[in-house]
Structure 1
Amino acid sequence: MLAQNDFLAQAKIGNNQPWRYIVGMILVLLALGIFSIPQVLVTDIKSGRPTVASHWYLLVAIGSFAGGILTLWVWLKNSHHREFQTLITPQSSVNWKRVASSAAVWLVCTAIVELGMYSFFPEMYRFSWNPQQWLPAFIVGFLFLPIQTSCEELIFRGYLFQAIGSRNVVVGLVISSVLFGLMHRFNPETAKVGFALAMSYYIGVGLFFALLTYFDGKLELALGIHASNNIYAFLLVTYPDSALPSPSVITMTELNFPLMIVGWLLAVVLYTVTIKWVFKWI
């Protein structure tokens, strides 16, 4: 049986009745929906594709996640009477160096795995770099994508995992991971590869982030990985039917989800070995 730790115990600070967490989740999810209306307005209804340049589309889409973070902050402060950083760490402040180090390690691990995949399947990769499109995408993506990834981490591995995990760790791991996966059910790749295969990937990703957060006792490493992963996918290597179309440097010629899952698992192993035994959890 997994024991509770200081990170999960943050849910017991202030007003911690279960109904407050239920209402808080509902309010945050409503905020995500309401603040996503501008994104709907710049999306073609039939194709589901953006009607504006990718960097502008990303900037509009980020508004939804900024609204989610703001709603969570207001509710946490005024209902739970908790400090916002308690969603990230039981310490008095967030160690942003660990967040950045985790992002850097994940980026290197992903690039190593990608190079290995390229050596076996070179026909799956196509050089697609367009400087005029890529440079504004780089600025917007590098600066604002962490808002999207941080919002998801704060909601699922912070707020939700703490709320449930402070009562039962295993149930918290499962529910936070499953709901994280279901949040991606409307992504274009889910319809392309099938619900079951897509959910096995997204739920698995959520479970890895949750386990990493649990064993590290902080959300910092997961924050770094998630930001690095999405920036990599937006700016360096993308694939057809991506939820966020981008003018990346390289585009995969086909969406091979089983192979993508294998690559993800290899990156997870390489990352875990690197941070645990090389950097001693950084």
Structure 2
Amino acid sequence: MAKVEVLIDASSAYAAHEQLVKGARSRPELWRLILGLVLIGILVTALNLGLFAVVAGMAPHDWTMEFLQGASPLAMLVLLGSFGFITFGVAVVARRLQHRSLQSILGQYQLGLRQFWRVLGALLILGVIMAALPPYGVGEPMVQNLDLSAWLVLLPFSILAVLIQTSAEEVLFRGYIQQSLAARFRSPIIWMGLPAVLFAAGHYAPAVAGDNAMLIAVWSCIFGLLASDLTARSGTLGPAIALHFFNNIIALVFISLPDNLSGLSLFLLPYDMSDTGMLRQWLYVDFVMMFVCWLTARLAIMR
């Protein structure tokens, strides 16, 4: 009985999700999803190899590690921009295997755009409020990464690149995967949980994060669940993209870790991903902030 009540409550809260899922209901077979993910992986890999070959051929030195680590502004712009291949791959595969358009995965355009700006505006206000409140700083002083003038010149390109990257991940995880699973399974435990686990697996990097790798993966999993919740409540990918975009703008454009994806950031934190003590303290703070941002986003889409 309790399980039935949970499903009823979820279906009521997530009624808007049907607007996204209905396009996949005519072809809900799991083999289409699995084959689609394989084809997306192949297509994205091939396009990235082609892009890397072109860029490497133009570079005056060995650009491999600089590109993979996003260690310079150009490397970061190219790296983030390459996520557009994921959106392209999803669009091609969804059309071929499910006869769906990218628009049907994103949701109703005007509504999604309205929800995106509403959520992003609320999060920006929250960010200003949180920046004005103690505690100030992160213990040791932050290190300036880019000159302010250079950072401002790059800022429009940085914003566009982060938007490409975050929207691509949402199109794949909260779009193609979540909606395909929801067309096949009724329980949100499956169609919310599995994309979140896959999202977390993509962020599990023990070679870089050391002992913090699992905690970062757990953070990513919970973030995925919260983004799935926003998507199901709103009926578009707009709120989830706004939440993801806000988070990554802060982490990639304003304050980054020094050892990974720092090329566009104004400041660097005084510790790296493998610093178990310091990073773990701030990850716990991030967990709290993630829930505050999610609640803010939920309030924004309820207006």
TM-score normalised by length of structure 1: 0.83
Tell me the CA shift for residue 30 of structure 1: 2.2
| 1:1-282 superposed matches below 5 A | 1-2=6-7, 3-4=10-11, 5=15, 6-7=18-19, 9-37=21-49, 38-39=51-52, 41=56, 42-44=63-65, 49-50=69-70, 53-54=72-73, 56-89=74-107, 91=108, 93-116=110-133, 118-119=135-136, 121-166=138-183, 167=185, 168-186=187-205, 189=208, 191-242=209-260, 244-255=261-272, 256-277=278-299, 279=300, 281-282=302-303
The RMSD of aligned alpha carbons is 2.9
How far apart, in 2, do the equivalents of 1:148 and 1:32 lie? 13
Task: Return the offset for 1:198.
Answer: 1.9
Kept after mapping to 1: 8 A contact 2:70/2:76: no
CA contact (8 A) 1:39 1:57 kept: no
Q: Deviations over 1:35-78 (max 9, x none)?
A: 33345853228x95457x32x11232134311111121122223
Q: Is the contact made by 2:76 and 2:263 (CA closer than 8 Å) also made in structure 1? A: no
Q: What SS does structure 2 have at the residue aligned with 1:155? A: helix
* Cα distance change of structure 1 residues 43 and 136 upon mapping to structure 2, 3 Å threshold: farther
Equivalent AA in structure 2 for residue 22 of structure 1: I
**C-alpha spacing 1:106/1:33, structure 2 compared with 1 (3 Å):** farther
Range with bigger deviation, 252-261 or 142-151: 252-261
- 2: CA distance, partners of 1:124 / 1:69: 38
The alpha-carbon distance between structure 1 residues 49 and 161, as it changes in their structure 2 partners (threshold 3 A), is: closer
Q: Which has the higher helix share?
A: 2
Q: How many residues align?
A: 275
Q: Which letter does structure 2 place at the counterpart of 1:138?
A: L
SS for the counterpart of 2:83 is helix
Q: Which runs of 5+ in 1 are unaligned?
A: none
Q: Which runs of 5+ in 2 are unaligned?
A: 1-5, 57-62, 273-277
CA distance in 1, matches of 2:133, 2:207: 27
CA distance in 2, matches of 1:94, 1:70: 22
Larger Rg: 2
For residues 22 and 282 of structure 2, the distance between their equivalents in structure 1, rounded to whole angstroms, comes to 35
Identity %: 21
Supply the distance in 1 between the matched residues of 2:231 and 2:263 (Cα, whole angstroms).
Answer: 30
Q: Distance in 1 between matches of 2:96 and 2:177?
A: 17
Distance 1:116 1:188 in 2: 35
